[in-house]
Chains A and B, each alone.
Chain A
């Protein structure tokens, strides 16, 4: 199954089409435009980290990719297709090849971990229940959570919940995995463990990944390429990890060097000046 999937994505590359294409994307919520003009591509088998300050639109980009948000302008193509131009049945087909890991896991709290993983399997396949259970157990083993298949999400720690969500995202062996801030809220050791797991799975299964993050440690560990968004909702810089480290753009340098903003020089008058005239 793994080889067949890798073949499929390789053939997509052989045809010259990237796994994800974003062109001049413009999106927002209601009247608020978050992303003005974003363009980038993701090629098969690579891990791209989508980075930028808070509010730059990283999560918004990911939401347009999975069809949760309709773009206002521009084009989005996932696995060669535009999720917003498809019929319902076709979109469901496409989404079965994409897995998404939400920031807080987003496991359904009323179902066990095993039932959570079984959800996409029951929806998109005709497999009998005992086979589905075995697949769920295998997926949990893959992410380092053996024996948790009958636990409720509330009985897991934060890190374990993320791993369980990861195994749900991978239930159908997706070609593309999207992760929204996977390390958020995790202590450094658990976060590093999750990064290592992501990297290992990506190598073993040949998945393409887009990881939204602003944790430098994660970026340095897993990124093949980096796309950096900036405040106005445009792409500030993109390139390989090495290229970003060597970038001459000040904002990029500050990001990777973790330079704190200048506290001293605040523009405008001080209260002292106002009181002394």
Chain B
């Protein structure tokens, strides 16, 4: 593509020679921007254009818009019959509507409205789930037989290996960090206290919840989301089956049992990880180490850890179900919703953990 410019009385003339296609579009538009800014009248001489494809036609339309924006009158001359036919078929471009982003206040307002309505919808799900899990069974309306056990088995199988590894490593890391400091004071033995209390009160439930949110929470959202997209949830409704009872309740029941069990396991495995470090780094024997661990723990620590894990369980399952059932946008929406579900779950878990920490300090007797 060659572009030549000359000035005639009344305006500028741009002569384009060569093929008007995707390769030429860039230079043509650039030249047009420059020239139309400086002139009031511009003629495009297209007599030396060999070929023009649909990209070329679109480029010419864009030239017209750019010229209009700069207050320059654009005309074309030297059109071959083939080019005339192509341009006759194409519509004239309409004035480009200003595509400014919505004002900041509008976006903030939209965001707040969105969060509020999502909050309302989540509260509704919470109420429905509470009804169908706690009240309805008393009236004989149970989830499908076997569904709870099926969900529980799947959750356990999904997360057991990952929890094992992460909890073990976490116990190892915490102990290593603590040991390094405590060694300086000859207080090696208190490393057992550290890992015991840390794993039981905080890290055991926390790491289990994060792993479960990532693995099971995303699986719940993906499963329910795929069902929603495939109209399976609507099909349940048309058969007179409440989707909450059929889909949500089994998952909530299952996770209420598997989460504390996994957390307990994580606590134990974390302590074992701590023991490995104490043995090799601090020369603490098994009986010394484990006796100290049990000495440092109170029943209240265990209860706190387990009650946290139950609250985490409900957070993960309900958040997963919430995002799964509210999917829009087809299969791509499933991916988006799964990500949002996991992130929201993990964030909520950390917030709840903080609340527990504050509450336990306030209520410490």
Contact = CB atoms under 8 A, between A and B. Distances in A.
A194 B51 CA distance: 51
B76 A95 contact: no
Given A108-B227, A119-B241, A123-B240, A272 B87 contact: yes
Interface of B: 44, 57, 60-61, 64, 73-76, 79, 84, 87-93, 144, 223, 226-227, 230-232, 234-241
Nearest to B73: A277
A68 B238 contact: yes
Given A106-B231, A108-B232, A275-B64, A68 B237 contact: yes
A270 B231 contact: no
A274 B238 contact: no
A123 B76 CA distance: 73
Contacts of A268: 91-92
Given A96-B239, A107-B235, A273-B92, 14 more contacts: A66-B238, A95-B238, A95-B240, A96-B240, A100-B235, A104-B230, A119-B239, A266-B91, A270-B88, A271-B92, A271-B93, A275-B44, A275-B74, A275-B76
A108 to B, nearest CB: 5
Interface string A68-93: 10000000000000000000000111
A116 B288 CA distance: 59
A113 interface: no
A107 B223 CA distance: 14
B235 A124 contact: no
A274 to B, nearest CB: 4
B234 A102 contact: yes
Interface in A220-247: none
A271 B65 CA distance: 11
Interface in A256-277: 266, 268-277
Given A275-B87, A276-B76, A100 B92 contact: no
Contacts of B44: 275
30 contacts: A67-B238, A95-B238, A95-B240, A96-B240, A102-B235, A106-B231, A106-B234, A107-B232, A107-B235, A109-B227, A110-B223, A119-B239, A120-B239, A120-B241, A123-B241, A268-B91, A269-B92, A270-B88, A270-B90, A270-B91, A270-B92, A271-B60, A271-B87, A271-B90, A271-B91, A272-B90, A273-B92, A274-B93, A276-B75, A277-B73
Nearest to A171: B239
Nearest to B58: A271
Contacts of B230: 104, 106, 109
Given A96-B240, A104-B231, A123-B240, A277 B91 contact: no
Nearest to B145: A122
A63 B144 CA distance: 26
A91 B231 contact: no
B306 to A, nearest CB: 31
A148 B315 CA distance: 40
A102 B232 CA distance: 9
A124 B238 CA distance: 13
A108 B235 contact: yes
Max count, chain B CB within 10 A of own CB: residue among A91, A98, A108, A272 = A272
Contact of B240 (A107, A124, A276): A124
B75 A275 contact: yes
Contact of A272 (B88, B227, B241): B88
Contacts of A96: 239-240
Nearest to A272: B87
Nearest to B234: A68
B75 A277 contact: yes
A120 B230 CA distance: 19
B239 A123 contact: yes
Interface in A24-64: 63
A266 B61 CA distance: 17
Interface string A155-170: 0000000000000000
A103 interface: yes
Contacts of A95: 238-240
Contact of A271 (B61, B144, B223, B238): B61
A213 B88 CA distance: 37
Interface string A120-154: 10111000000000000000000000000000000
